[in-house]
Amino acid sequence: MTDEDSEKEPEEQESSRRAEAAARFSEASSRAADATAKAADDLKDRSRRLLASLSARSRGEGWEKPTGELAKYRSGWRAGMRFVLQRVLFRAVVNSAVSPQVQVHRRVKSIRGPFVLVANHTSHVDAPLLAMSLPWTQGRFLSTGVAADYWFDHWHRRIFVRLMMNAFPIDRGGSRKHAGTSKRLLRSGVPILVFPEGGRQQTGTMAEFKAGAAALALGVGVPVVPAAIIGGYEAMPKGRSWPVPGRPPVRVVFGEPLLGGVDEPASDFITRIRDSVKDLYDEHHDEVLGSAVRDEEEDA
């Protein structure tokens, strides 16, 4: 063997090792790509199964059994009293003051288990109006957060909102006494109502949504039901304690349930939720209020 052949042999070995390494890297990359594609398919399948399972009986039963104070929120006799208060007495009052209309997406009627109901906030009667408009199967245990320092500091107010709205206390002014109640309620199978605008509309125009409702739904893993109230502000604008005369039309529309995506930020999810509520509002606006009102809103 010549010196030249001796020099070539390590070079050929090194070249061979590089080729083998490249082949192994290519194979590993291919396996990783296949695994990623499979994971993506699995996630899509899981999302489809979750959406399909909204109507499963097991979904309605597979939550923690509430104990102590939380047990009140799934009380059967309290739900029976709410049925009378909301769907008999309050409905009669509402029908005497406005002309209510309700439209419910078919998938809302199939939901079993907890969810977050998200709506625009137009007037003081929004919460009971939404509660009495939901199908009873879904609205039976619906709970609404109310200011603890006003509604829960006086026994007569506390009894009223608990019986009427299955209400739970929300802290104001920096207190953390009732922090986490909404999450514990959802985990106990109790759906909750959230107005993510943070307050009633000032001019009839929908404000931006705070991300808390989306973060709550993502954190517990429950669907969001978007709802739009059309005509509520026109019937009872801020500053009035009773609707305007003439039984103005007010329509409540419940849209298709939304599910948070895997690793979807709450900021992105709340944008999707607001878009859905806004689309429902815009779709029914002219039919309920007429185009003249829309022109006035746009000018405002």
DSSP state of 258: B
State both tokens at 164.
């009427």
State both tokens at 221.
């893993």
DSSP state of 1: -
Q: Which residues contact 128 (CB under 8 A, 6 or more apart)?
A: 86, 90, 164, 165
Tens-digit pLDDT profile for residues 17-52: 776 766 676 776 677 667 666 665 665 555 555 555
Q: How confident is the model at residue 160 (pLDDT cuts 50, 70, 90)?
A: confident
What is the model's pTM? 0.78
Q: CA–CA separation, 5 vs 209, rounded Å?
A: 76
* Percentage of the chain lying above the pLDDT 90 cut: 52
Angle subtended by helix axes 266-289 and 212-220, to nearest 10 = 120
Q: State phi, psi for 59 to the nearest 5 degrees.
A: -65, -35
Q: How many Cβ atoms are within 10 Å of 24's Cβ, its own excluded?
A: 10
3-state DSSP call for residue 226?
strand
Q: Does residue 198 register a pLDDT over 70? A: yes
Angle subtended by helix axes 155-165 and 126-133, to nearest 10 = 30
Tens-digit pLDDT profile for residues 68-78: 888 999 999 99
Average pLDDT of the residues in 220-248: 93
Q: How confident is the model at residue 175 (pLDDT cuts 50, 70, 90)?
A: low
Q: Does residue 123 register a pLDDT over 80? A: yes
Q: CA–CA separation, 166 vs 78, rounded Å?
A: 8
pLDDT at res. 134: 97
- The answer to whether residues 118 and 227 touch, using CB atoms and an 8 Å cutoff, is yes
Exposure of 247 in the CB half-sphere (CA atoms within 13 A): 9
